[in-house]
Amino acid sequence: MTMTMGEAAKPARLRPWLAGLRLQDKARDCALLVVPPLITIGLLLLLWQMLCSQPGASLPPPSKVIKDTWQLISDPFFDNGGTDVGLFWQILASLKRVCIGFSLAAVCGVALGVLIGQSSFAYRGLDPIFQVLRTVPPLAWLPISLAAFKDSNPSAIFVIFITAIWPVILNTAVGVRQIPEDYRNVARVLRLNGWEYFFKIMLPASVPYMFTGLRIGVGLSWLAIVAAEMLVGGVGIGFFIWDGWNSSLLSEIILALIYVGIIGFLLDRIIGFFGRLIAGRPI
């Protein structure tokens, strides 16, 4: 009560000053967010520059990386045919594969997760299989999928699929199993049918869990695509890195690694964003 009276009693000429203060607050919050990472990045670059500038250093310093790759950085869109295309196209090719493989994994993963979350028979039958299969390293699937699909592109997509699906299945199943008995009872009293129950109760109640799985899944897919592309070749950031290694273009590899990291980070944030949007609460 005293607080509100104090507010009201403030002289009018203080207000613009307060508004200015609030703007300053915003600027300070922003600076607090941006300045520390800038400082650490600067320090790391400096350290790297010093360590790699000595004679006999086996890796190029950042200044040399930028000089060597300036062409690639400044023109990501060139297309000389074959695998000789700009980084934009390389990354786009990888993202396309991840997008297809991951979407398939998301759909199948949610469906299977709902199945084993809902039915304890399916859970008992499938969970042991899933627990074993999910420990198989992504690349171990590659030879089998190459043999099955007889083509590199679907094989790479399959590797993404099989990598991303496990966390989606398992987290969705946990999400479905944790739906409180009370919500089921509400559905029973209202006599919701299967579809109504699925869309009105099960989906919203387990969506945070699903997105946790999707987030882990997208991270794993991005890890796997780079490795898979190294092996199958073609346009894509993974093969670009492998090609750089074969041609001893260390600077190009370092640039590609930075791009891979940034894209991976963005993928994670995008899934997180959609999760928040759909669930209407932080995940």
Partner 1 sequence: MRGYLTIEQVGKTFDTQSGKFTALSNVSLAIEKGEFVTIIGHSGCGKSTLLNIVAGLSRATTGAVLLDGVSVDEPGPDRAVVFQNHSLLPWLSAYANVRLAVDKVFGKTKSSAERDEWTKHNLDLVHMNHALHKKPDELSGGMRQRVGIARALAMQPKILLLDEPFGALDALTRAHLQDTVMEIHQATKSTAIMITHDVDEAVLLSNRIVMMTNGPAATIGDICQVGLDRPRRRLEMADSLEYARCRKQVLQFLYERHAKAA
List residues near partner 1 by CB under 8 A.
180, 182-183, 185-186, 188-192, 196, 200-201, 204-205, 279-281
- Count CB neighbours of 271 within 10 A: 22
Contact 227, 139 (CB under 8 A): yes
Token match 């979407």: residue?
103
Cα 159 from Cα 97, distance rounded (Å): 10
Nearer to partner 1, 76 or 204 (CB): 204
Nearer to partner 1, 134 or 200 (CB): 200
Nearer to partner 1, 16 or 280 (CB): 280
Minimum distance, C-beta of residue 196 to partner 1, in the bound complex (Å)? 7
Minimum distance, C-beta of residue 181 to partner 1, in the bound complex (Å)? 9
Minimum distance, C-beta of residue 277 to partner 1, in the bound complex (Å)? 13
Minimum distance, C-beta of residue 182 to partner 1, in the bound complex (Å)? 4
Contact 259, 91 (CB under 8 A): yes
Minimum distance, C-beta of residue 207 to partner 1, in the bound complex (Å)? 8
Contact 94, 236 (CB under 8 A): yes
Cα 116 from Cα 164, distance rounded (Å): 17
Nearer to partner 1, 122 or 278 (CB): 278
Helices 142-149 + 152-177 axis angle, to 10: 120
User: Which of 229, 248, 265 has its CA nearest to residue 90?
Assistant: 229
Token match 């089998």: residue?
144
Nearer to partner 1, 201 or 250 (CB): 201
